[in-house]
């Protein structure tokens, strides 16, 4: 049965049911909110956003790690009707500028830095006008829609509000005004927008409604048997659906406690699970591998763990065995989907056999349709025959922001979302993902679309042509290989290519392998055969063992 409720009303419902129960815990920061306290801070932040004149349907971008202000903003914007636009923490200037322009975001929240990326320096590079602007009155040539920049930090920055300013400004908006705004919101309204790369070479803003993600969160939680007694450790990033739908929203939907980790560190995750007695743990396979191989693993008491989700990348069966046997997560579930489907389409459940958990991605959620079709004819295929996986139901996105043609390509006239993934389904309805119609690379849970990286590398003056393909990797699942043809008369080195990429595209998109070649393998009709580039690279780079790794 589907819920017909907004995210703000869902939080109010859960806070009314479990006011004193812990809602949000940051063990590393000593921060703890009960559901009543969390509801209160979210209401205050919602009034703060309203005080800036932000209207229902306006787009607010957030560029931060899993800090407390991120999850507060998620529910605050949901309560006052702004659309939260999530920004990948690995983005650099080129990608950030595109996202802010394409999304028409009027407000940006950001932290100071992450790893080797200085966010403040990058936004100033794009918006030099910040140095002289009054907070809330930004007029940027390259980002004409952006008016407000809110710094999640303590040190005052030119042209920016502080997060503390936002909370103080909330006093100028009454609680009655906020409630009145919340009452105007409808479950079918778009409330979340996540950017996913596209085969066009440009990221697309996936518009998701309250209905989309509330119901997906409920179904994801149900497959894990989550309830108010559970405590979910969330080390996966909030900017992905994995973090903010399957993670925080699934907790609020069930009364479970959110226990985020600000930025993934395997030792910290193990410590948080042990100290907070977490019952569920989320991660992509590379995260679980890092935890299993951490020096402190053998000393940790992880006996509280019962369930969780492994998703975001193909799961090696040996990793699954270790998660069950060594970490003791006997009810671990595998989930499959994509941002356009809010995100989960299929998921295993605790009662599934070990074989099902390691060889399939489970069955469709209740209320979801899925089928495997012939990519050429569109005919539905029988069990066991490989084709494209399509899905239909409440979970299908509202569309891509300001991209009607791309939306029409993804969702057909009968409402079926075409995933671009190749799959088979057995007689009992269990799906297995067997490949991709698209050339998408999945590196450690991050989706990389070759065309996007190719478009960027084409801007290098010495590069005549470039083909990006994925090659197998035992740790990350796949790595990026660039096959480059250099312009006649020019010389180019791997080091030059890597230097050109640094600081301009996200680190996970930078090629791990670079090969220079005079020509590409072609079909008789002149199409480049990327699969042959991949096969040759596997042979030449000695990646056969990684290629043979069994996955679900």
What count of other Cβ atoms lies within 10 Å of the Cβ of residue 135?
Answer: 20
Decide if 445 contacts 286 (C-beta within 8 A). Answer: yes
Maximum separation of any 2 CA atoms in the chain, in Å: 72
The DSSP secondary-structure symbol of 229 reads T
Looking at residue 552, its pLDDT comes to 54
Dist CA 72 CA 39 (whole Å): 9
Fold adopted by 441-547: GMP Synthetase; Chain A, domain 3 (3.30.300)
Dist CA 233 CA 247 (whole Å): 8
Among 481, 462, 465, 483, which Cα is nearest to 473's? 481
- Per residue in 57-81, is it b (16+ CB within 10 Å) or e — as a string? ebbbbbbbbbbbbbbbbbbbbbbbb
What SS3 class is residue 513?
strand
Alpha helices in 104-209 (DSSP H): 119-126, 163-169, 175-183
What DSSP element (H or E) covers 149? strand 148-151
Decide if 149 contacts 108 (C-beta within 8 A). Answer: yes
218, 223, 342, 396 from 7: Cα distances, Å: 12, 20, 14, 17
Decide if 98 contacts 88 (C-beta within 8 A). Answer: no
Q: Name residues whose C-beta falls within 8 Å of residue 190's C-beta, 6 or more positions apart in sequence.
A: 57, 83, 207, 208, 209, 398
Q: Which residues of the chain have pLDDT under 70?
A: 197-201, 314, 438, 523-527, 549-552
Looking at residue 526, its pLDDT comes to 59
Q: How would you classify the pairing of strands 368-373 and 363-364? A: unpaired
Dist CA 383 CA 426 (whole Å): 5
Looking at residue 286, its pLDDT comes to 83
- Token pair in block for residue 462: 């010495």
Q: Name residues whose C-beta falls within 8 Å of residue 76's C-beta, 6 or more positions apart in sequence.
A: 42, 43, 44, 45, 46, 48, 49
CA atoms within 13 A on the CB side of 452: 25
Q: How would you classify the pairing of strands 477-486 and 513-516? A: parallel
Dist CA 10 CA 182 (whole Å): 12
Looking at residue 201, its pLDDT comes to 55
Decide if 42 contacts 79 (C-beta within 8 A). Answer: yes
Q: How many residues comprise the chain?
A: 552
Decide if 257 contacts 248 (C-beta within 8 A). Answer: no
Dist CA 336 CA 431 (whole Å): 9
Looking at residue 359, its pLDDT comes to 86
Looking at residue 546, its pLDDT comes to 77
Among 337, 359, 335, which Cα is nearest to 348's? 335
Looking at residue 442, its pLDDT comes to 87
Alpha helices in 343-477 (DSSP H): 354-359, 404-410, 450-457
Burial of 155 (0-12, 13-18, 19+ CB in 10 A): exposed
């Amino acid at each position: 049965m589907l819920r017909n409720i907004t995210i703000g009303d869902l939080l109010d419902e859960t806070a009314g049911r479990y006011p004193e129960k812990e809602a949000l815990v940051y063990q590393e920061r000593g921060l703890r909110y009960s559901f009543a306290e969390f509801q209160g801070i979210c209401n205050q932040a919602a009034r703060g956003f309203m005080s800036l004149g932000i209207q229902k349907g306006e787009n607010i971008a957030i560029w931060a790690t899993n800090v407390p202000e991120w999850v507060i903003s998620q529910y605050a914007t949901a309560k006052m009707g702004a659309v939260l636009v999530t920004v990948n923490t690995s983005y650099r200037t080129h990608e950030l500028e595109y996202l802010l322009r394409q999304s028409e975001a009027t407000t940006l929240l950001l932290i100071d830095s992450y790893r080797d990326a200085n966010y403040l320096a990058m936004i100033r590079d794009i918006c030099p006008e910040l140095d002289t602007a009054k907070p809330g009155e930004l007029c940027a040539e390259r980002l004409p829609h952006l008016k407000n920049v809110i710094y999640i930090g303590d040190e005052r920055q030119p042209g920016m509000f502080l997060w503390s300013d936002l909370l103080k400004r909330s006093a100028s908006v009454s609680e009655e005004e906020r409630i009145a705004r919340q009452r105007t919101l409808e479950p079918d309204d778009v409330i979340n927008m996540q950017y996913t790369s596209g085969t066009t070479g440009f990221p697309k803003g996936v518009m998701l409604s309250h209905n989309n993600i509330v119901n997906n969160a409920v179904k994801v939680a149900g497959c894990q048997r989550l309830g108010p007694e559970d405590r979910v450790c969330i080390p996966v990033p909030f900017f992905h659906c994995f973090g903010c739908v399957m993670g925080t929203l699934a907790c609020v939907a069930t009364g479970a406690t959110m226990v985020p980790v600000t930025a993934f560190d395997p030792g910290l995750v193990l410590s948080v699970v042990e100290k907070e007695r977490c019952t569920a743990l989320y991660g992509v396979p590379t995260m679980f591998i890092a935890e299993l191989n951490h020096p402190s693993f053998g000393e940790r008491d992880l006996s509280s763990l019962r369930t969780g989700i492994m998703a975001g990348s193909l799961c090696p069966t040996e990793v699954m065995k270790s998660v069950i046997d060594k970490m003791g997560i006997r009810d671990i579930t595998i989930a499959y989907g994509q941002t356009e489907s809010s995100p989960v389409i299929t998921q295993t459940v605790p009662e599934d056999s070990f074989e099902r958990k390691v060889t399939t991605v489970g069955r469709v959620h209740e209320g979801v349709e899925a089928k495997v079709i012939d990519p050429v004819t569109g005919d539905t295929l029988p069990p066991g025959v490989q084709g494209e996986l399509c899905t239909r139901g409440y979970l299908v996105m509202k569309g891509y922001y300001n991209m009607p043609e791309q939306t029409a390509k993804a969702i057909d006239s009968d409402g079926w979302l075409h995933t671009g993934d190749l799959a088979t389904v057995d007689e009992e309805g269990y799906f297995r993902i067997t490949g991709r119609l698209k050339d998408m690379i999945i590196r450690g849970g991050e989706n990389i679309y070759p065309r996007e990286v190719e478009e960027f590398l084409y801007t290098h003056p010495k590069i005549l042509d470039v083909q990006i393909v994925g090659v197998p990797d035992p740790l990350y699942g796949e790595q990026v290989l660039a096959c480059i043809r250099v312009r006649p008369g020019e010389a180019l080195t791997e080091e030059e290519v890597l230097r050109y990429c640094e600081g301009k595209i996200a680190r996970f998109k930078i090629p791990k392998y670079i090969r220079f070649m005079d020509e590409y393998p072609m079909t008789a009709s002149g199409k480049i055969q990327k699969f042959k580039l991949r096969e040759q690279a596997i042979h030449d780079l000695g990646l056969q063992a990684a290629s043979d790794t069994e996955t679900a």
